[in-house]
Structures are given as C-alpha cells and as structure tokens.
Amino acid sequence: MSFLARLFGTKPDPREEWRVLWHRTVAEARDPDWYRMCGVADSIEGRYDMITLVLTLVMLRLEDEGGQGPATARLTELFVDDMEGQMREAGIGDPTVGKKINALMESMNGRIGAYREGLRSDPKVLIDAVRRNVTMAQPDEAEALVQRMAALHARLARTNLDQLKAGEIAA
C-alpha cells in the first residue's frame, strides 16, 4: 500500500487485520513466567529477545500454513513500527533509527533461521540458538526456556489460522 493511500485513507491498511495477533504476540512475550521461570533477563534486551522469540514462533506457524507471505510481511511491518516508536520514545534520533532498525531486522532474520533449525532438529541445537540469542539472567535456565518455547510452538501448531488471526492460541 502506498504512503499516500495510507495517509489519505483511500484504502484500508492491510496491517490492521493482523494487529490483534501482533498485540497477542507482545502480550505473550511479556508473560512474567518467561522471566521468572525460564531465566530470561527482565531488561530491555531480554524483552526484545522475547518479542522476537514469540514473533518468530508465530511466523514459523504461518510459514507452516503455506501461502502466508503477506501475513508475515504485515506482522514484520507492525514489529518495525513498534520498535521504531520505542526507539523514538527512548530519544534515539532520525539518523540512527534506520540503522538500528536494519540491525534489528538482520538479527530477527538470523533468529528465524536458527529457531527453525532448532525446532526441526535436535533440542541441543535449539538450546544453543537460545543461548546465542536470548539475554539470560540465569544462563543455566536455557533448557527451561527451550521447553516452554517448544510448548508454545506446539500450541501454535494446534491453532487454526482464523483463531491465530483473532489473537487466540490453543491451550
């Protein structure tokens, strides 16, 4: 959708149908148990790591559905908008924001690949990926984080696309 179409409201923003899922993704990443029981650092870095971890799992679920490239693109756009807003609130200026967003996207892409590989192979690969990519307050809790991550991945697999789009995740 072009900038002018969004600015003047001539067409609905295609991201809006995915905003509920984005908010659910962030809410899941903020669940205190990730930090209390799985050793993730309750810091800006740890929270970013958890948002990217949960978003990665959601994107992998959409990938498994097939034909959901536009959905993952919309979620990525919502992620970028949110991160950009957070940076601006933190006082990061225009020249730096673009560079930082590019770095975040490179990091996100690397995590998607690492988590995809880890979820589809030996759990030790996923533990190593988590140790490399998640800021841990308790590094010895990486196994607990991977167990909870795998459980969320399984719950997402049991969630149909309409439920997911509505921000619901199977129990």
Residue-wise pLDDT tens digits, 48-86: 999 999 999 999 999 999 899 999 999 999 999 999 988
Tokens, residue 28 = 């899941």
Q: Report the mean per-residue pLDDT for the chain.
A: 92
Q: Where are the alpha helices (DSSP H) in the chain?
A: 3-8, 16-29, 32-36, 44-65, 69-89, 94-120, 123-133, 142-157, 161-165
The 10 Å Cβ neighbour count of residue 28 is: 21
Structure tokens at 149: 């991550």
pLDDT digits (tens, 9 = 90+) for 15-51: 999 999 999 999 999 999 999 999 999 999 999 999 9
The β-bridge partners of 136 are 40
Can you tell me the distance from the alpha carbon of 36 to that of 53, in angstroms, rounded to the nearest whole number?
Answer: 16
Q: pLDDT tens for residues 87-101? A: 888 888 878 888 889
CA distances from 75 to 19, 26, 44, 80, 145 (A): 8, 11, 21, 9, 24
pTM score > 0.85 for this model? yes
